[in-house]
Each structure stands twice: as structure tokens, then as C-alpha cells.
Amino acid sequence: MSNTPDLRQKTLDHMKGELHGNALGPFIQDVVYGGNDGIVTTFAVVAGTVGAGMPHYIVIILGIANLLADGTSMATGAFLSLKSERDQYHRIRKEELEEIQEIPEIEREEIVIALEKKGFTGEDLKRATDVITSDDDVWADTMMFEEHGLSLGSTEKPMVHGLITFASFVMFGAIPLLPYIFGIERTSRFGFAIWSTFAALVVLGLTRSIVTRERLFRGPIEIVSVGALGAIVAYGIGVLLKDVVGIVL
């Protein structure tokens, strides 16, 4: 027992400094989602307009419009989505608290069933159930996770998630436009756009691999593959519009 205070302090220090994964981990979904969509949709504008034979200033105008409009749309979408999930969490939790008051025996049995699935039996099952159901907030939180698969932590900081989605979309999505913005030689612009898009996808994939600590080349391969598919489709549609519809400016 003499070591208990020391053990407790060591544990608290460990919990304070413990970091599983990367500091960017909670937001990597926003980075990848925003970045990949920014790269692919902006290159789709570039490839589509080039495939249709449109002049470079159209690429710049449509590209910038896409960056700002789609980036804002994605950011607000991410914000509203998380806000909706958060509102749903609070509504369902309120319903659980009401059921705890109105039909406590059924709600208690639901805890018993959930604990049995985790392997609790006999006295351990009874003690665990008594502890959980002794506090309505703990009881409701347990029901939220076990019955509905919901936790409040996954919906935290909706504004931050929205801003990171927007920043990632604009930062990565601007890359395919750079050859046109900086006036690269006309015959080389699209080639530069292709290679800069490829490089952006690789960087995004590496970022994903580093943050998630997965195999280093898995992230780039997956993201480049998805991005290449979108780029090919976009360029093909541009060519189709030019040849079939006759859109040439």
C-alpha cells in the first residue's frame, strides 16, 4: 500500500503525457477528405476545360471559383454534419434518462445484457451492474455507447473540423492551378498541372500514412489511385464535350 500514491502519480503523469497516434489524428479525416476533394475537383476543372479546348483564363476563373465555393461548402457541410450528430446525441441521451426514470428495471436489464456480452457473469456481473446503475449519468452514458454506439467525443469541435476541411481543400486544391496562375509556357501548363497534381496526391497520402502510422506507401498509393480515376474521368468528359457537343471557346 505504501507504493500506491507513487503508482497513482506515475499513472496520472503517464495519462497526461500519453499520446496515441499523432496530434493531427483527430482531424486526419478532415485533412484527407478536404485535401483529396480539393485536388480532384480542381484538377477536374483544369482537365475538363483543357479537354474542351478552353483558354487558360477560363481555367483560372473556374478553378478559383471552385476552390472558394466548394471549399466553403465542404467546410459548412462538415460543421453542420457534426452539429447534427451532436444534437442527435443529446436528444437520444435525454430519452435514455427519461427511460431510466420511467422503466428502470428494463433499462437495468439492458445493462445486464450488455455486460453479459462482454463476458461478465455471477457476482462480477451484479457488482458491475450495481456500480453503473448507481449513477444516472454513468448509466445513460453507458447506454448511449452500448445500445446506440454513440459517444460525445466524436462530435467535439465542429467548428475546428470545418475550418481544417476548408484549409486542406484550398491548400491542396490550389496546386493544380499553379502552372496557370504563374504563367508557365502554354504548351507545358497542362503537363505541369498533371505532375503537380500527382505530387499533391502523394504528399496528402504520405501525410495520411505518417499521422495514422500505417505502412508508408499505402496511403499515397490509395489516394493517388482514387485521384487518378477522378482526373481521367474529368479529362474524358472534357474531350467528349468538345467532340460531341462542340464546345470550344
Please classify residue 180 by burial: count the beta carbons closer than 10 Å to its beta carbon, then call 0-12 exposed, 13-18 middle and 19+ buried: buried
- pLDDT tens-digit readout, 173-213: 999 888 888 877 777 888 888 888 888 888 888 888 888 77
This prediction has a pTM of 0.71
- pLDDT tens-digit readout, 49-70: 776 677 778 888 888 998 999 9
- pLDDT tens-digit readout, 72-102: 999 999 899 889 988 989 999 999 999 999 9
pLDDT of residue 244: 64
- pLDDT tens-digit readout, 19-35: 455 566 778 888 888 99
Give the CA angle between residues 110, 114, 119 to the nearest 5°: 140
Torsion sign across C-alpha atoms 163, 166, 169, 171: negative
Least confident of 1-5, 27-31, 36-40, 87-91: 1-5
- The Cα–Cα gap between 88 and 153 comes to 13
> Residue 71: which residues within 8 A CB-CB, separation 6 or more?
34, 38, 165, 166, 169, 170, 173
Q: How would residue 14 be classed by pLDDT, with cut points 50, 70 and 90?
A: low
Give the cell for residue 167. Answer: 484549409
